[in-house]
């Protein structure tokens, strides 16, 4: 559920995966206005939905209609995935888990120095999961002071890892000892010519560089990192892996991630 939801690839990806797993299930993309959210969640319960995903503008607003939150969702203060229990729905957040599981295919974040660009919903979800996965430190680079500071404080005070906010004025230069760099901003979404304002000469071969942007998956930011010899991870991996996690939560079955990625690429025309 979200608003707007036109063009959202999740239904296409999930229904392909249900079919591939031999499950006669449905995943529906539902446009729900904020004032109808309570009725819509009550309707899901009445009709026996096993769960669902929530996107903008419902990720925070849905919380009062749930019976409890997982640890990650509680720390993030946002829910993108719910699942049914006997007396109602549990709120989970799979955004950060999807990212970390894509990251772990390349590098384990434990004990790593991380630079996170952005402090919005996606960056917050990623940061909390990286913290729960024992990252050594997370430098939050963000333009907006209140969002940047709030995320760094959440990480150091509630998640218990070293963190600081760095103001983002002009072009950001990366510290040489950075292990992992993540673009968690919306820069580059549906705009292949937009470059994240990071000095590309500060990329080092030893860095792993990831982007949350999945459309287009090959962003200028990732291209610049690749040219510098870095290993890169595109936003499709995060999207596929959060799909994998939701699918398993609802059905108890492990889906085939290759089927999901191919469905996404087909839907997005990549």
Q: Which residues bind ligand NDP (CB under 6 A)?
A: 95, 98, 118-123, 142-144, 147, 168, 185-187, 189, 212-214, 235, 238-239, 242
| End-to-end Cα, the chain, rounded Å | 25
The Cα 115–Cα 165 span in angstroms is 10
Task: Say whether 87 counts as a known binding-site residue.
Answer: no
Q: How far is the CB of 160 from ligand NDP (least distance, A)?
A: 23
Give the residue with the Cβ less far from ligand NDP, 79 or 119. 119
* 121 marked as part of a ligand binding site: yes
Which one, 109 or 118, has the nearer CB to ligand NDP? 118
Give whole-number Cα distances, 223 to 23, 190, 217, in Å: 39, 16, 10
Q: Is 212 annotated as a binding residue?
A: yes
Q: Does 59 qualify as catalytic in the annotation?
A: yes
From the candidates 45, 59, 134, 164, give the one annotated as an active-site residue: 59
In the DSSP assignment, the letter for residue 173 is P
Tokens of 179: 């292990």
C-beta closer to ligand NDP: residue 224 or 238? 238
Q: Distance (Å, rounded) from C-alpha 164 to C-alpha 239?
A: 27
**Distance of closest approach, residue 52 Cβ to ligand NDP, in angstroms:** 16
Could you say which DSSP state residue 200 is in? G
CA distances to 36, 49, 95, 113 from 244, in Å = 28, 18, 11, 27
Is 67 annotated to bind ligand? no
- Give the annotated binding-site residues for NADP(+): 71, 118-122, 212, 235
- Give the annotated binding-site residues: 55, 71, 80, 95, 118-122, 212, 235, 242
């Amino acid at each position: 559920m979200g608003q707007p939801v036109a063009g959202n690839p999740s239904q296409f990806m999930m229904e392909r995966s249900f079919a591939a797993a031999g499950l006669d299930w449905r995943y529906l993309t539902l446009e729900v206005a904020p004032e109808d959210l309570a009725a819509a969640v009550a309707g899901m319960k009445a009709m026996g939905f096993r769960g669902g995903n929530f996107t903008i503008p419902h990720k925070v607003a849905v919380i009062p209609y749930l019976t409890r939150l997982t640890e990650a969702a509680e720390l993030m203060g946002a829910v993108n995935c719910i699942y049914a229990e006997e007396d109602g729905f549990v709120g989970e957040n799979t955004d950060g888990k999807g990212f970390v599981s894509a990251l772990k295919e390349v590098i384990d974040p434990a004990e790593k120095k991380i630079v996170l660009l952005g402090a919005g919903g996606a960056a917050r979800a990623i940061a909390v999961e990286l913290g729960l996965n024992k990252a050594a430190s997370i430098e939050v680079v963000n333009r907006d002071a209140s969002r940047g500071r709030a995320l760094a404080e959440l990480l150091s005070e509630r998640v218990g890892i070293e963190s600081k906010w760095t103001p983002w004025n002009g072009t950001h230069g990366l510290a040489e000892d950075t292990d992992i760099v993540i673009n968690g901003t919306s820069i580059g979404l549906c705009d292949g010519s937009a470059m994240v304002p990071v000095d590309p000469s500060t990329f080092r071969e030893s860095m792993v560089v990831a982007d949350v942007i999945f459309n287009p998956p090959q962003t200028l930011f990732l291209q610049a990192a690749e040219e510098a010899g870095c290993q890169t991870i595109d936003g499709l991996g995060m999207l596929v892996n959060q799909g994998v996690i939701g699918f398993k939560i609802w059905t108890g079955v492990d889906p085939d991630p290759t089927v999901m990625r191919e469905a996404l690429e087909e839907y997005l025309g990549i």
